[in-house]
Amino acid sequence: MAYLKRENISSIDERANIIQAFIDKEIQEGGNAHDRYLENGPSTLINVITEHSGSKKECILWCVNHYLSLNRNENVIEKTCNALRQFGTGCGTSAPSCGMSSLHKEIEKRVANLLGKEEAVLFPTGFTANLGSISFLAGSRDLIIFDRECHSSMLNGITLSNAKRIPFKHNSVADLEKKLNRYQDSYEDILVVLESAYSMSGDLSPLMEITELKKKYKFYIYVDEAHTFGIYGDKGQGYCYELGVSDEVDFIMSTLSKATSSVGGFLASQHKYCSLLRWSDAYTFQACLTPADAAVILACLDEIEDNPDMIRELHAKNQYMRNLLQSKRFNLGQSQSPIIPIMIEDHNKLRMVVNELYQEGVYSTPIVYPAVKMNEGRIRLILNHAHSKEQIDYTVEALEKICKKYQII
């Protein structure tokens, strides 16, 4: 679908018709992610409903970023119900218009304390935390150098910033340094934007080497810890903390929809930068996340602090599954985190594998353009703490059988 860009096809109807034909074709051939939904929300074992047929199938779920499986934790659910009774449902307005409650303020204080930063700013979603922060921090006299695999929310923020923007090769410290050296005297400020773990490839950023560059060049570092906050560090502080580089990272961002099983996002930094971001449109003109969502976050932070073994157990399962897949000669790319991609470049084979896995009771979705490059299709298995060894074994066995059939391994 690379041709489906507004500069190539300007007609709303024409673009809509192309997309609808594509979806209809996929449904006829066995299924489309937009045609399926979960009967009772995410867990490791779920019922998937196919909308056009009304059929239901029990599956092991591999699509959800609830790394610690706290969305089903009884303590979290009970604390959330209590908060709902005390604080009501919605906030009704934005933070500066009195939408803030003591729950929201407590999240900001706890996050800042966890990360060792002076302050944190809470946003209603992780997407708008990135979009609002990046677009507001950098201006027309600045340069943003960003990793090519940065999330869409970051790319949208970069585009809205009006700053000059240049990508660097994924996880290439050498290419980043080359660009810093070339442009260090050409702009008022340089903001380097990257993720600690990349959502489509599951690989970790060379943060130590990147922060070392600050000894030679003047620039700010902005790190999205969406896929590491809560599951790296002894208390879930994140990958920057685990590597000991938090002080060198100027802006640490994360969503709160993954390890903390809620919604929302934050940006942690110095007090003055947080004050600046509270003037951004994304903060000023969005209603606060609901009290129930805030209560979930706080309850999840409690669980992580009280039960840090969850983090070690998750990584042990990650290593077990990786070893099993690699023993079967699957291509996992450069991945390391609990995001495990199975690289399948042929899109036709990829869709057939995904459809047959579904028939075997294993539910994942194909990752294709525009989420990745045209020739970099994959299945993405997102490991959660509640996945059992039996579920891992069954999934790998089903993958092996189907991928051998299509000569992928």
Strands 378-382 and 366-367: antiparallel
Alpha carbons 39 and 47: distance in angstroms, whole number: 6
pLDDT beyond 70 at 256: yes
Helices then strands, counting H and E runs in the chain, come out as: 14, 14
Whole-model pTM: value is 0.94
Confidence of residue 7 (pLDDT cuts 50, 70, 90): low
* pLDDT tens, position by position, 104-136: 999 999 999 999 999 999 999 999 999 999 999
Backbone angles phi, psi at 122, to 5 degrees: -95, 130
In total, the chain counts a number of residues equal to: 409
Second-level CATH architecture of 74-306: 3-Layer(aba) Sandwich (3.40)
Cis peptide bond N-terminal to 42, omega within 30: no
Q: Which residue spans of the chain are classified as CATH 3.90.1150.10? A: 31-61+308-405
Q: What is the CATH number of domain 31-61+308-405?
A: 3.90.1150.10
* pLDDT tens, position by position, 133-190: 999 999 999 999 999 999 999 999 999 999 999 999 999 999 999 999 999 999 999 9
For the beta carbon of residue 185, count every other beta carbon within 10 angstroms.
Answer: 7
- CB distance 42 to 344 below 8 Å: no
Q: Which residue spans of the chain are classified as CATH 3.40.640.10? A: 74-306
Average pLDDT over residues 201-226: 97
